[in-house]
Structure 1
Amino acid sequence: MQQDIDALMRDHDGTVPGASVLVLRDGRPIVRRSYGMADMEARVAATPATNYRLASVSKQFTAASILLLAQDGRLGLDDPVRKWLPSLPEVAAPITVRHLLTHTSGLIDYEDVMDPADTRQVHDADVLHLLESQHTTYFPPGQGYRYSNSGYALLSLIVERASGLRYADFLRQRIFLPLGMQGTVAFEDGISQVAHRAYGYSLENGAWRRTDQSTTSAVLGDGGIYSSIDDLARWDAALYDERLLKADSLRQAFMPATKTDVADVEYGFGWRITGDSLWHSGETIGFRNVIVRYPKEHMTVVVLTNRDDPEPYETAKRIAVLVRDGDAAH
């Protein structure tokens, strides 16, 4: 099985941008392997401790933060968003926290209203300012589905207002440290560091070029977390018991709340749901990642990569098939 997985990951091996692959079965890592380079310029190889920018895989942590605060009685999932962010325009009045979690708010995509001439990085608070001037929505809240980075940026601001903590500090205090995720961080340039950091790359004219940050890379709520396969193993374990979230909170996170724009995919709170699998991919300049959980089989596959291409979801599903075939052979 390991040789078959190595063959699948062959393009990530050597002096190229790399990848880390984790397969958990019954809580045990049966595959824990890294390929290629975390840092091409410094010639630093990827390891299981390498921290990759998770991109939208971060959304499950934003959703968990909201659920923790709901458990604490600090907020309600059906609170109007303007209760927490009153500067949003009148058109946002019907939008609830639940709509943000499930991409059913209809909010305008902040990426589409950024000033293309402004090369400064946007932060979560800037997303709010951009949306304050948007007096339309794509559809009435709750009446459709449209994947929304805007919604998850606003959720991070709601976490700050309901908890009294900066979002990165809330994640660290309430999720990362309690679970022993020592290397995981919501990265803020000039404030925090990423240990064992992978840098992102894109293939341009046959050569790898560092493309590690874009103007939207500093937004935390929709995609700003760095983590490793070793730390994500700790996260996965916590999703099977009540050490972090109570059973009812987990049930809500993993329950289909809406159909998406893909036929066999539904969405919960920060998780896509396809059949018996819970998954989420992440894509940003220089990184492509996926986590796929099969709770009934007690199996999870994580593939983290520091390159623009290819998208690893299909690879992760093929790895899951190899694991099942290996089990069947025994």
Structure 2
Amino acid sequence: MRRLAPLFAFLFSLAGIAQANDAASDVDAMMSRYQGDVPGASLLVIKDGKPLVSRGYGLANLETQEAATPATNYRLASVTKQFTAAAILLLAERGTLHLDDHVRHWIPELPATHEAITIRQLLSHGGGLIDYEDLMPANVTDQISDADVLRMLAAEPKSYFAPGTSYRYSNGGYVLLGLIVERASKQSLPDFLARNIFQPLGMTHTLLYVRGGPNVPHRAYGYSEENGHWTRTDQSTTSATRGDGGIYSSIDDMAKWDAALYDRRLLSDASRQLAFGIQNKVSDEVDVDGYGFGWRIHGDVLWHSGESMGFRNVIIRWPKQRLTVVLLSNRNDPEPYRTALAIGQRFLHTP
């Protein structure tokens, strides 16, 4: 039997490869809505550090007929939040700030009624801040900036709940976290992310986009379907805020990000444990038990979606199985979470 053990291992390996190949062959059918002369998507499936699927579907730009590829860069929208959280954790590791610092220590413009809010609570959506989207004037047509968000929150003394007593998803909280990164590091947020996260990880085409800054390479433009026709809807009034949703990236670069989440090449073990652990319980969202720092948590699954006008994205990770699915799309529909979840489940039990 000992002599046969290598043979059995080889046969099991071949069976695993065949199963993975069968799962990969099903993917195109599951991605059928993204195929053809329509706004498309890029899909990544990584298992044990190896990309089993890495391909584009449809078009990144309808006007030029540019195809979507693994190198296409999409606006990540709220998938950005895990990078903003990582920036805060890096500064905490360096002693530049502390997670239990009061936010007003770094942003004194906020009213005294928000004195008790901490950085830790902003990271886990426990600050209770009023949504800045609800504070925007009804007739606003120009894009709002982080400075505009700060002015609105500085003028609003009310909150939804006392800090640390509940959960409410807050884009404004992550805008403030981006401003804290700038003030604590004395660098602009795009520069800090580039120098401390993107460049060290080799994410050479990922950037926090700002108007007038560097162009996005291989850029996908967002579209929405209206009356059976696709219309470019790439930017909205809230598309210029940064810490809550401004990063552009590709599945090629997201593979490098995913790899860094398994070891200490970027964050310490303690920081990753904080990010991936439930810091605030969630009871009103589907497939969410709690929120960490930039991550939704459901059982053993870590995930986050990102939605802005013309873009729908998701990253889903099964760390214990070392499996990750990233689906980035430049269209308002369909919502990608269920598709990505179904794709991931096809690979879950491969050796």
Structure 2 CA distance for aligned equivalents of residues 302 and 118 of structure 1: 34
How does 1:108-123 map onto structure 2 within 5 Å? 108-123=130-145
How does 1:217-232 map onto structure 2 within 5 Å? 217-232=239-254
Which residue of 154, 164, 182 corresponds with 1:160? Answer: 182
The answer as to 2:230 corresponding to 1:204 is no
Displacement of 1:324: 2.9
Structure 1 CA distance for aligned equivalents of residues 188 and 201 of structure 2: 19
Can you give the 5+ residue segments of structure 2 that lack an aligned partner in the other structure?
1-22
2:345 aligns with 321
Displacement of 1:113: 0.6
Structure 2 CA distance for aligned equivalents of residues 55 and 324 of structure 1: 27
How does 1:73-84 map onto structure 2 within 5 Å? 73-84=95-106
Instruction: State the SS of the aligned residue for 1:30.
Output: strand
Displacement of 1:3: 2.8
1:69 aligns with 91
Q: 1:263 to 1:41 in 2, by over 3 A?
A: closer
The answer as to 2:337 corresponding to 1:310 is no
Which residue of 215, 219, 224 corresponds with 1:193? Answer: 215
The answer as to 2:351 corresponding to 1:299 is no
Q: 1:264 to 1:302 in 2, by over 3 A?
A: closer
Displacement of 1:322: 1.4
Displacement of 1:264: 4.8
RMSD, aligned α-carbons: 1.0
Structure 2 CA distance for aligned equivalents of residues 263 and 320 of structure 1: 18
Is the Cα contact below 8 Å between 2:323 and 2:348 reproduced in 1?
no
Deviations 1:171-212 (A, max 9, x none): 000000110001101001111210000000000000000000
The structure that has the greater radius of gyration is 2
The answer as to 2:35 corresponding to 1:13 is yes
Displacement of 1:118: 2.1
Question: Identity percentage over the alignment?
Answer: 60
Deviations 1:116-147 (A, max 9, x none): 22211111121111101101000011111000
Can you give the 5+ residue segments of structure 1 that lack an aligned partner in the other structure?
none
Aligned AA for 2:163? P
Structure 2 CA distance for aligned equivalents of residues 65 and 127 of structure 1: 20
Structure 2 CA distance for aligned equivalents of residues 297 and 56 of structure 1: 25
Structure 2 CA distance for aligned equivalents of residues 193 and 122 of structure 1: 20
The alignment covers a number of residue pairs equal to 327
Aligned AA for 1:277? V
Structure 2 CA distance for aligned equivalents of residues 57 and 293 of structure 1: 13
Deviations 1:269-293 (A, max 9, x none): 0000001010000010000000001
Aligned AA for 2:225? L
When normalised by structure 2's length, the TM-score is 0.92
Which residue of 287, 298, 305 corresponds with 1:281? Answer: 305
When normalised by structure 1's length, the TM-score is 0.98
Instruction: State the SS of the aligned residue for 1:219.
Output: coil
Structure 2 CA distance for aligned equivalents of residues 14 and 277 of structure 1: 32
Which residue of 182, 186, 191 corresponds with 1:169? Answer: 191
Is the Cα contact below 8 Å between 2:205 and 2:250 reproduced in 1?
yes
4+ residue segments displaced more than 3 Å: none
Displacement of 1:49: 0.2
Is the Cα contact below 8 Å between 2:321 and 2:348 reproduced in 1?
no
The answer as to 2:126 corresponding to 1:100 is no
Structure 1 CA distance for aligned equivalents of residues 286 and 82 of structure 2: 22
